[in-house]
């Protein structure tokens, strides 16, 4: 410790931080890529592959357009099994309905956390508003462990008013807590197997956000707007529509310069299981995939018929 005390103050602070916490370094930054999905929705995919440093997360799509031709075709009836889909709307509305009889509209600021489990057939249809055509939202897919792939499906519809927002560091940092806990404030989505943390973070210019991440947990950030340095190397100002994948460590440290930044920060406990993935169904083996598609064809896909309303 003596060595630390003879350093300059700035170095001292950094040094103490480094000793107390291992700051996660950026593994890679990736621009999201234009993709067509559903019945012809034009979106940007931040990731959509099994990277071990993203496990348990499988996919992140960014829908962002003010041209209804880009999204109005929507995602008509389709199945899911073995995963959770988490839809977060920033602007516009998405109407949904499912094989269990649930239905409703996900509005700006709302979250829909859908656990497909053993199987659900649903549709997700963006609605057109002639006065305000902007549609902006995200869909994240989280994998389920083998032990829960065939659990009963469930929906959690969370309204914007249920999502707590906390201010840190004299209002320089604002965090909406969708899932997880920050400064003793718990997000509304709880009891999820992979223990995910899902935060929507805004940092003012010339400010800093340091946040602990569970040991061994994987974490990524996805920049919505503005720019920031996402680790203490400060080599790259990361800008909108860019994914930041982190290496292991204890905390993430994000610094802004002249601009503010807004980003999603998502972490979870890796499953470290084999992934067998085809389209909307993600299982552990090819045989489980074959059975799932066979059941979908012959009408025995849905295992849980009772109405489930969160
Ligand atoms: Fe879906």
Q: Let me know if 261 is exposed, middle or buried by CB neighbors in 10 A (0-12, 13-18, 19+).
A: buried
- CATH C-level class of 4-268: mainly beta
| Residue of 142, 153, 62, 147 whose CA lies nearest to 116 | 153
| Distance between CA atoms of residues 70 and 64, nearest Å | 9
User: pLDDT band at residue 56, thresholds of 50, 70 and 90?
Assistant: very high
Q: What is the mean pLDDT of residues 63-92?
A: 94
Q: Which residue has the tokens 């499988």?
A: 58
How many A from CA of 125 to the centre of ligand 1? Answer: 10
Q: What is the mean pLDDT of residues 260-274?
A: 96
| Distance between CA atoms of residues 113 and 45, nearest Å | 19
How many A from CA of 178 to the centre of ligand 1? Answer: 20
Per-residue pLDDT, 82: 97
| Distance between CA atoms of residues 251 and 24, nearest Å | 6
Per-residue pLDDT, 17: 56
**Segment 24-39, tens digit of pLDDT:** 999 999 999 999 989 8
Q: Say yes or no to pLDDT of 19 above 60.
A: no
**Segment 179-222, tens digit of pLDDT:** 999 999 999 988 787 889 999 999 999 999 999 998 899 999 99
| Distance between CA atoms of residues 264 and 219, nearest Å | 10
Helix (H, G, I), strand (E, B) or coil at 190: coil
How many A from CA of 46 to the centre of ligand 1? Answer: 17
Q: How many CB atoms lie within 10 A of CB 130?
A: 6
| Residue of 204, 214, 215, 251 whose CA lies nearest to 230 | 251
Q: What is the mean pLDDT of residues 225-246?
A: 97
**Segment 246-259, tens digit of pLDDT:** 999 999 999 999 99
Q: What is the mean pLDDT of residues 79-99?
A: 95
Per-residue pLDDT, 128: 81
How many A from CA of 257 to the centre of ligand 1? Answer: 38
How many A from CA of 116 to the centre of ligand 1? Answer: 9
How many A from CA of 175 to the centre of ligand 1? Answer: 27
How many A from CA of 130 to the centre of ligand 1? Answer: 25
Q: What is the DSSP string of 80-146?
A: EBSEEEEEEEEES-EEEEETTS-EEEEPTT-EEEEE-TT-EEEEEEEPP-SS---EEEEEEEEE--G
Q: Mean pLDDT, the chain, as a whole number?
A: 90
Q: Say yes or no to pLDDT of 5 above 50.
A: no
Q: Above pLDDT 70, what percent of the chain?
A: 91
Per-residue pLDDT, 18: 55
How many A from CA of 75 to the centre of ligand 1? Answer: 7
How many A from CA of 287 to the centre of ligand 1? Answer: 22
How many A from CA of 122 to the centre of ligand 1? Answer: 6
| Distance between CA atoms of residues 297 and 55, nearest Å | 30
How many A from CA of 241 to the centre of ligand 1? Answer: 22
- What count of Cα atoms within 13 Å lies in the side-chain half-sphere of residue 114? 29
How many residues make up the chain in this entry?
Answer: 310
DSSP tag of 231: S
How many A from CA of 195 to the centre of ligand 1? Answer: 21
Lowest mean pLDDT among 10-14, 42-46, 172-176, 236-240: 10-14
Q: 211-232 burial string, b = 16+ CB within 10 Å, else e?
A: bebeeebbbbbbbbebbbbbbb
Q: What is the DSSP string of 20-66?
A: H--BPPEEEEEE-EEEEETTTEEEEEEE-S--TTTTTEEEEEEEEES
């Amino acid at each position: 410790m003596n060595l630390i005390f003879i350093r300059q103050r700035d170095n001292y602070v950094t040094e103490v931080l480094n000793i107390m916490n291992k700051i996660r370094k950026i593994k890679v930054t990736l621009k999201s890529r234009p993709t067509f999905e559903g019945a012809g929705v034009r979106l940007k995919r931040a990731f959509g592959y099994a990277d071990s440093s993203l496990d348990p997360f499988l996919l992140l799509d960014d829908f962002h357009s003010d041209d209804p031709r880009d999204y109005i075709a929507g995602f008509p009836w389709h199945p899911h099994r073995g995963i959770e889909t988490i839809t977060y709307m920033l602007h516009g509305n998405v109407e949904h309905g499912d094989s269990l009889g649930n239905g409703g509209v996900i509005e700006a600021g709302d979250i829909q956390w859908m656990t497909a489990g053993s199987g659900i057939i649903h549709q997700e249809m963006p609605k057109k508003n002639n006065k305000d055509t902007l549609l902006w939202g995200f869909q994240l897919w989280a994998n389920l462990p083998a032990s829960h792939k065939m659990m009963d499906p469930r929906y959690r519809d969370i309204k914007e008013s249920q999502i707590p927002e906390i201010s840190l560091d004299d209002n320089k940092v604002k965090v909406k807590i969708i899932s997880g806990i920050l400064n003793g404030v718990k997000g509304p989505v709880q009891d999820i197997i992979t223990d995910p943390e899902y935060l929507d973070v805004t940092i003012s210019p010339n400010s800093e956000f340091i946040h602990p991440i569970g040991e061994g947990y994987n974490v990524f950030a996805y920049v919505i707007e503005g720019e920031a340095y996402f680790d203490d190397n400060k080599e790259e100002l990361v800008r909108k529509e860019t994914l930041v994948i982190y290496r292991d460590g204890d905390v993430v440290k994000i610094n802004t310069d002249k601009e503010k930044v807004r980003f999603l920060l998502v972490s979870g406990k890796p499953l470290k299981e084999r992934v067998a993935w085809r389209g909307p169904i993600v299982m552990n083996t090819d045989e489980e995939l074959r059975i799932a598609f066979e059941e979908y064809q012959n009408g025995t896909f849905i295992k849980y018929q009772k109405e489930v309303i969160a």
